[in-house]
Chains A and B, each alone.
Chain A
Amino acid sequence: MATVAATGWSALGRVSFAIAAKDFLSERRTKEVFNAMLVFGFMVAVIFSFAFEPTSEEAQRIAGGLVWLVFIFAGILGLNRSFARETLNECLQGLRLGPVGPGAIYLGKLLSNFAFMFVAELILLPFFGMFFDVHFWREPAWMIAILVLGTWGFTALGTIFSAVSANTRMRELMLPLLLLPLSVPLLIAAVQATTTVLRGLPMSDASLWIKLLIGFDVMFTTLAWLVFEPVLEQ
């Protein structure tokens, strides 16, 4: 086939980015994921700020847990739409017709899910800082690293469960039921590392949690990649 580019890693990258770019274009037109995530996140931030009136020290202790709680539930709203988009008109079958393995589909969906959630987090974080009077950007490089690692791990796991639950009748209920229990180690590590930043402690105190985040990301990205084909087949 003269018209078809070389396969292999370049094809994997090309197809993954094509799928992610398609999702960005769809989202730009419908705004269904972003609107849901941002409205939910903003509402929770406002409600929490009225419900609690923490001292500065208390705020530093609890804000890490609160933001990750909001990110996770806002992320689930986005993940629920991820493969629901592909079930309409059986588009997922169309993706499977392409001359690449299912890993490219997984990676493409993971990229778009990660990007949507990460951007929403960057938009929501200043509101939490303002409402709780905490400084998330005391260690900007570390904060970004924690957000990236936490979000990648959550979306790596969430993408596969989004595919699993896409064809079930109770999709909205099924996804959190499958995803949240397995995300607990990731959440604990992300909350602890974020709290270290907020309290202005040396980042060496968070090294164990950062390593746990990295380990979680590597393990679940690899596992999800490996089991994605039988998931699609179902």
Chain B
Amino acid sequence: MNPSPAASLRLEAKGIAKHYGHLTALQAVDLCIDPGDFIVVLGRNGAGKTTLLRLLATIIHPSEGSLWFDGTPLAQCPASLKSRFGFVGHESFLYDELTVRENLLFYARLYGLADGARAVATQLEALELSARAGDLVRNLSRGLRQRVAIARALLHQPSLLLLDEPATGLDAPSRERLHDLLRRLHREGRTILFSSHDVAQGLALATRVVLLERGRIAFDGRNTPEAQAAVAAQLGSGGV
């Protein structure tokens, strides 16, 4: 069981756009993430899901528009704001030549956790990784790496968890375990936003759906049967 997360965080994206040279990855995106939301971002390959998540995680900056955290623009937020959200990307952000424990301890130091060793032990136990704590990351399977990446993102008890296609490359049992974990984290009070190109699985988990098409939000609403029908009609009910 994870300890309680940090105070809830409200995140607003106002008119954000991201351009890479002549390529526009996102444009005119308005999105408000309220505490307690469990959001799936759906869209075809190249729709802008990864760019959106990286912008929300402040890894990249928008070309236009702004991000607001609890009513404060990002530019005026202290650096410590980053302690309030966790991000799991396509890649694990883990060092292959270090063990699971060494990786997590390093990130605990990065976040300045007062008792890093205890935080690491807690996450290892919560994600059933204790037995593999001494293994080098390079020797782990994709599923185990993903669990370590989630442990890394949860170390500092963020209230908002951003996950970019976390189920990609996982086999069915690992995917099911991941979904159970996300449900549990949401029940514990975390706000969760994850992207997925698997419509059926995304809709089975989330309480709110955001559909991206060519860098724009095509749909944003509660996960109701009507919303599911509309999204399925646009993307197809399986993967895209």
Contacts and interface: CB of A to CB of B under 8 A. Distances in A.
A4 interface: yes
B107 interface: yes
Contact of B95 (A1, A6, A22, A97): A22
Contacts of B107: 94, 98
Contact of B111 (A89, A98, A233): A98
A165 B157 CA distance: 35
A94 B82 contact: no
Contacts of A94: 93-94, 107, 152
Interface string B78-111: 1111111011011111111110001000110111
A88 B107 CA distance: 16
B114 interface: yes
Contacts of B110: 15, 18-19, 95, 98, 100
A171 interface: no
A146 to B, nearest CB: 33
A5 B91 contact: no
The contact size tier of chain B is 35 or more
A89 B113 contact: no
Interface string B106-148: 1101111111000100000000000000000000000000000
A44 B41 CA distance: 57
B61 interface: yes
Interface of B: 6, 57, 59-61, 78-84, 86-87, 89-98, 102, 106-107, 109-115, 119, 152, 156-157
Contacts of A91: 93-95
Interface string A1-16: 1111111000100110
A103 to B, nearest CB: 10
Interface stretch (A25-33, A134-142, A201-209, A211-219): A25-33
17 contacts: A1-B80, A2-B114, A3-B113, A4-B114, A7-B112, A15-B110, A21-B109, A22-B106, A88-B95, A89-B92, A93-B89, A94-B107, A94-B152, A97-B86, A98-B111, A99-B83, A99-B112
Nearest to A229: B61
A233 B54 CA distance: 12
Contact of B79 (A30, A85, A100): A100
**Majority SS of interface residues in chain B?**
loop
Interface of A: 1-7, 11, 14-15, 18-19, 21-22, 25-26, 29-30, 85, 88-91, 93-101, 233
Given A18-B106, A99-B83, A89 B112 contact: no
A11 B93 CA distance: 21
Contacts of A93: 59, 89, 91, 93
A231 to B, nearest CB: 13
Nearest to A15: B110
A233 B61 CA distance: 8
Given A18-B106, A96-B59, A97-B87, A89 B80 contact: no
Given A22-B98, A22-B106, A233-B61, A4 B93 contact: no
- Report the 6 A-B pairs with minimum CB-CB distance, sorted nearest first: A94-B93, A5-B112, A90-B91, A18-B109, A98-B110, A99-B82
A29 B98 contact: yes
Given A1-B83, A97-B82, A233-B61, A89 B156 contact: no
B111 A4 contact: yes
Contacts of B109: 14-15, 18, 21
A91 B156 CA distance: 18
A125 B98 CA distance: 31
